[in-house]
Amino acid sequence: MNKTVCRGLFLVALIAAAGLRFGRLDLRPMHHDEANQAVKFGALLESGQYAYDKADHHGPTLYYLTLPAAWARGQKTLAALDETTLRIVPALFGLGLIALFLFLTRAIGRGAAAGAAFFAALSPALTYYSRSYIQETLFAFFAWGFLIALGWLFVKPSGGKAVAAGVLAGLAYATKETSVLVFAAAAAGLLIAWISSRPGSPGRRRLPSPVHGLAGLAAAAATAYLFFSSFFKNPRGIIDSLTAFKDYAARGTEAGLHSQPWNYYLKILAGTRSEGIFWTEAVILGLALAGAAAACLGFKKGTTLPEEYAGPDAWSRVFWLRYLAATTILLSVIFSALAYKTPWNMVPFLAGFAVLAGIGADALLRAIRPQTARAAVAVLLLAGAALLVRQNLMANIRYPADPRNPYVYAQTSPDYMRLVDRIRDVADFHRDGKAMLVKVIADPGEQWPLPWYLRDFTRVGYWTGLAEAGEMTGTPVVVASQEYAEIIEAAAGDSFQAAFYGLRPEVVQTLFIDRELWEGFLKSRMTGPRKVLKP
């Protein structure tokens, strides 16, 4: 494949990825994690305040890197923010992740790199989490930036590569605590690739020097310090980032509600059926296995290298294949071994599967000699790509909040948007408008994402118990979780109009609207009803 074709294919992959990632970013209701982080970002936007919280919310990069998006859209307050401003940030990094694979063209070959770009662009899961205001896609971008820079550092050591790898490692660390798992997998992957790629090979050159190592470490530490210290305002942040590992280690092993079997991620990718819909990324998974097999070729002494790797650069190419395959497989094993599992945690190693799938597709096309057979494989690959596009549209456009979608996890139900709409509707009829008093009585886990949706309301109170919330009668709007709703309904009698709404699967809340306010709203909704049969 020549350079022009390769660049053209990358361009097509990037356009496809952009179309899938940037379209209708407001389609899915905000997940409670997204809402929580959006409100946290709102504080940074409005007052410049941010301090790393070692107990939750992961690292600072997501918040700081959202600032340019808000500035670009002229949004200066939490109330002014919208879903598009927030979600465009991971979407851009999702696009960047694909562009990163351009740095692999000389490592794994142009065909394999272009294939990797396509599989990453079309992957339903990688698209889904690129459209979510969570850390995962930024983390995958920094992690893969680091892995690629590290690989090049070992193939052709230089100070620039050491610093680049260090900065990217620092950014990955400042994004998610699980970056240490990437570092561990990368170290093991390097070792496996180095040892297995035939000592004595003429291509095997010098290792990076200690100076390179020190430069990389210094760059990583400086980058992490900048972010964790809130740009020197909270020096303690970097210490907190280290002590946080105790909590995260406990969370990883004592997963509670998030505990899943070891094959949780593999099952999602291989295929699941749910109420009439079949979900799969088996195309990527299958080709990734082929890619891993291609990387293994030549492991045994005396095995000949594939023809395309023959030549002076043969060692580095074999090293790259094995480094990428070993790191990806190790990452998937580590994440699968942890009891704590959420579907977005597969993003870093799924990006690796996309790379291996590119390698696998390229190897298959090269391995098959007869033209007709090769054409048949190409058609099958195109059919696989078409299946991924269909799955992608199903996951991200048709069923983005549907519990049947395997990428959906504790997602806010679309039904909840009716509750939000109704509060906004009745506020129009209240003399105080958005300064109308709203009482929310629910456990902390059930209070979100309401603070995001009521961000422009000025008198919203959140309580975790009825006693603290005070008198209900006379309150224009009350939102209560089910355990409190029955008590309120029994005590308030007919003074409220009550209706229930689904918050998440198996979680409902009741909206109480002052009867007078409700009647006012209902009058506005009256259109001449058609003939109704009298009983």
Partner 1 sequence: MAKKTVLALLAAASLAAAVIPCLAAQQDPDKEILKLTLPKPMFVGTPRNIKTANLEVVTGKPRGPFFVAKGTKLLSLKKPVKSSDMQPVIGELNFVTDGERSGEDGYFVELGPGKQWLQIDLGASASIGAVLIWHYHSQARVYRDVIVQVSDDKDFLKGVVSIYNNDHDNTAGLGIGKDKEYIETNEGRLIDAKGAKGRYIRLYSEGNTSNDMNHYVEVEVYGLPAK
Q: Is the peptide bond before 199 cis (omega within 30 degrees of 0)?
A: no
Could you tell me the two tokens for 529?
A: 């009803």
Q: Pull the structure tokens for residue 45.
A: 């936007």
Asked if residues 486 and 451 have their Cβ atoms less than 8 Å apart, the reply is no
Instruction: Say how many C-beta atoms besides its own lie within 10 A of residue 8's C-beta.
Output: 13
| Count of residues of this chain found to bind partner 1 when the rule CB under 8 A is applied | 42
456 binds partner 1 (CB under 8 A): no
Q: Is 404 among the residues that bind partner 1 (CB under 8 A)?
A: yes
Pick one of 272, 342, 458, 482: the residue that binds partner 1 (CB under 8 A).
482
Residue of the chain from 67, 415, 437, 456 that contacts partner 1 (CB under 8 A): 415
Smaller CB separation from partner 1, 117 or 479? 479
In total, the chain counts a number of residues equal to 535
Question: Judged by CB, which is closer to partner 1: 392, or 497?
Answer: 497
Map residue 326 onto helix, strand or coil: helix
By CB under 8 A, tell whether 424 contacts partner 1: no
Comparing CB distances to partner 1, the nearer of 277 and 334 is: 277
Structure tokens at 504: 């998440």
Nearer to partner 1 by Cβ, of 371 and 527: the residue is: 527
Report CA-CA distances (Å) from 91 to 14, 64, 513: 12, 16, 38
**Near partner 1 by CB under 8 A: residue from 401, 423, 442, 478:** 401
β-sheet bridge partners, residue 510: 480, 500
Contact between 240 and partner 1 by CB under 8 A: the answer reads: no
**How near is the Cβ of 500 to partner 1 at its closest, in Å?**
5
Give the three-class secondary structure for 508. strand
Residue 474, SS3 per DSSP: coil
Site stretch for partner 1 (CB under 8 A), options 102-110, 147-155, 331-339, 518-526: 518-526
Select from 64, 194, 463, 500 the one that contacts partner 1 (CB under 8 A): 500
Secondary structure (DSSP) of 78-135 = TTT--HHHHHHHHHHHHHHHHHHGGGGHHHH-HHHHHHHHHHHHH-HHHHHHHTSSSS
How far from each other are the two terminal CA atoms of the chain, in whole angstroms?
76
Applying CB under 8 A, which of residues 19, 273, 432, 491 lies at the interface with partner 1?
273
Cβ(409)–Cβ(400) below 8 Å: no
Note whether 505 binds partner 1 by CB under 8 A.
yes
Binding piece for partner 1, criterion CB under 8 A, among 79-87, 141-149, 451-459, 500-508: 500-508
242 or 522: CB nearest partner 1:
522
Tokens of 314: 């043969």
Nearer to partner 1, 43 or 277 (CB): 277
DSSP character string of 365-433: HHH--SHHHHHHHHHHHHHHHHHHHHHHHIIIIISTT-TTSTT--SPPPTTHHHHHHHHHHHHTTSTTG
Rule CB under 8 A: is residue 530 a binding residue for partner 1?
yes
Q: Which stretch binds partner 1 (CB under 8 A): 65-73, 91-99, 374-382, 393-401?
A: 393-401
- Identify the residue among 53, 247, 486, 516 touching partner 1 (CB under 8 A): 486
Task: Indicate which single residue of 116, 290, 394, 469 sits in contact with partner 1 (rule: CB under 8 A).
Answer: 394
Check binding of 497 to partner 1 (CB under 8 A): yes
What minimum distance in Å lies between the beta carbon of 526 and partner 1? 7
Q: Is 410 near partner 1 (CB under 8 A)?
A: no
How far is 120 from 348, CA to CA, in rounded Å?
11
Nearest to 218 by CA among 165, 146, 154: 165
In the bound state with partner 1, the residue whose beta carbon lies nearer, of 300 and 525, is: 525
Give the C-alpha separation, 431 to 444, whole Å. 30
> Measured between alpha carbons, how far is residue 76 from residues 66, 92, 297, 412, 449 in Å?
12, 21, 55, 26, 21
Taking residues 275 to 294 in sequence order and writing x for each that binds partner 1 by CB under 8 A, - otherwise, the string is: xxx-----------------
With binding defined as CB under 8 A, does residue 403 bind partner 1? yes
Q: Which is nearer to partner 1, 160 or 445 (CB)?
A: 445
Cβ closer to partner 1: 13 or 408? 408
Q: Which is it for the CA torsion 156, 158, 162, 163, positive or negative?
A: negative
| Stretch of 64-72, 447-455, 471-479, 492-500 lying at the interface with partner 1 (CB under 8 A) | 492-500
Interaction pattern, residues 10-49, with partner 1; x per rule: CB under 8 A = ----------------------------------------
Cα–Cα distance measured from residue 31 to residue 336, given in angstroms and rounded to the nearest whole number: 24
Taking CB under 8 A as the rule, does residue 501 contact partner 1? yes
Considering beta carbons, is residue 186 or 513 the nearer one to partner 1?
513
Among 4, 47, 371, 527, contact with partner 1 (rule: CB under 8 A): 527
In the complex, the smallest distance separating the C-beta of residue 441 from partner 1, rounded to whole angstroms, is 16
3-class SS of residue 194: helix
- Residue 257 binding partner 1, by CB under 8 A: no
- Long-range (24+ apart) CB contacts under 8 A made by 380-388 are 384/283, 384/287, 385/118, 385/122, 385/283, 387/280, 387/283, 388/119, 388/122, 388/123, 388/124, 388/281, 388/283, 388/284
Residues 355, 102: contact at Cβ < 8 Å? no
Is 48 in a helix, a strand, or coil? Answer: coil
Q: Which residues pair with 187 in a beta bridge?
A: none
Among 110, 176, 422, 439, which residue sits at the site for partner 1 (rule: CB under 8 A)? 422
Q: 76 or 390: whose CB is closer to partner 1?
A: 390
Contact positions toward partner 1, by CB under 8 A? Answer: 273, 275-277, 394, 398-399, 401-404, 413-415, 418, 422, 482, 485-486, 489, 497-502, 505-506, 508, 510, 521-522, 525-533, 535
